[in-house]
Amino acid sequence: MDDCIFCKIVAGKISAQIVHQDKSVLAFRDLNPQAPVHILIIPRKHIDQISSMEEADLPLLGDIYGAVKTIALQEGISETGFRVVANNGPDGGQTVGHLHLHLLGGRLMHWPPG
């Protein structure tokens, strides 16, 4: 998608601090971190949000969660714990229309979220 900022990161047109990549997934540090570790994990393929996934896209969720596990180990937060967040649509607070998970760690998370 030409106007999608995360597609531009996938294409290498915008720089990002990439921490992990494989054939289907890219992960990079959030520009505006909300925790000592704040990484976004995205599919290379443009999908707007979870609710617009098609059945054929569902295996990507396994790839994305596999990346979460790998990155958590890499970042040293696998044992201390972390939170995974997916904002979906306006009420979910989604601001970038390319499906992504937030991986947050390195501090105690509170519940309920705001």
- Confirm or reject binding of residue 88 to ligand AMP (CB under 6 A): no
Residue 100 bears catalytic tag = yes
Q: Which of 11, 31, 73, 109 binds ligand AMP (CB under 6 A)?
A: 31
CB of 98 closer than 8 Å to CB of 48: yes
Query: Cβ-count burial of 23 within 10 angstroms (0-12 exposed, 13-18 middle, 19+ buried)?
Result: exposed
- Confirm or reject binding of residue 32 to ligand AMP (CB under 6 A): yes
Q: How far apart are CA 108 and CA 10, in angstroms?
A: 31
- Confirm or reject binding of residue 12 to ligand AMP (CB under 6 A): no
Selected catalytic residue, list 38, 98, 100, 102: 100
Nearest Cα to Cα of residue 98 among 40, 55, 37: 40
Q: How far apart are CA 43 and CA 63, in angstroms?
A: 8
Q: Which of 30, 48, 57, 63 binds ligand AMP (CB under 6 A)?
A: 30
**Residue carrying structure tokens 């979910």:** 92
Task: Indicate the residue type of 109.
Answer: M
- For the chain, the C-alpha Rg in angstroms (whole number) is 14
- Confirm or reject binding of residue 94 to ligand AMP (CB under 6 A): yes
Q: Which of residues 40-69 bind ligand AMP (CB under 6 A)?
A: 40
Q: Choose the stretch contacting ligand AMP; rule: CB under 6 A; options: 27-35, 61-69, 70-78, 106-114.
A: 27-35
Q: What are the catalytic residues?
A: 100
Chain positions contacting ligand AMP, by CB under 6 A: 5, 14, 16, 28, 30-32, 40, 87, 93-96
